[in-house]
Amino acid sequence: MIRSQATIADARELQTQLCAYNSAFEELDLMFRWDAETFQSLAHAPTDQARIAQYIESHCPHLLKAYSAEFLCQAIVDKKNAHYDACRATTIARADDTRGARMWRSTCAESHAESA
């Protein structure tokens, strides 16, 4: 089966976004990772900041006790943007590569339960 150029470009952009977000999360020592399913579930958010805020509010609300949502979102977006070009240069368009990102929701949820 031959994929269209648009499908390949979409897969590459998805991989680039995941790489950039996950690199930002890692650099900021945030204990979560996004996969394609997570990213697509947040795709309706109008901005990067709204997407990140929605995720934090749903999965790691304890972070909002220490940091404002605005501060966290801006820090993540700044780091994501800094990683974007490098991620774009190294991202490949294979669809199954989106499974490489791992979410650490359980770790985040456990941390939240312990702090409650």
Instruction: Provide the pLDDT for residue 66.
Output: 94
Angle of helix 48-59 relative to helix 105-115, nearest 10 degrees?
Answer: 60
Instruction: Provide the pLDDT for residue 80.
Output: 97
Q: Considering the entire predicted model, what is its pTM? A: 0.73
Residue 23 CA, distance from chain mean position: 9
At residue 20's C-alpha, the angle toward residues 14 and 25, to 5°, is 125
- The pLDDT of 89-115, averaged and rounded, is 52
**Segments forming the whole domain that contains residue 77:** 5-115
Count of the separate structural domains present in the chain: 1
- The pLDDT of 77-101, averaged and rounded, is 74
Q: Convert the pLDDT of each residue in 60-87 to its tens digit.
A: 999 999 999 999 999 999 999 999 999 9
pLDDT band at 4 (very low <50, low <70, confident <90, very high): low
State how far the Cα of 52 lies from the Cα of 114, in Å rounded to an integer: 23
Instruction: Provide the pLDDT for residue 10.
Output: 87
Instruction: Provide the pLDDT for residue 91.
Output: 72
Q: Convert the pLDDT of each residue in 38-59 to its tens digit.
A: 999 999 999 999 999 999 999 9
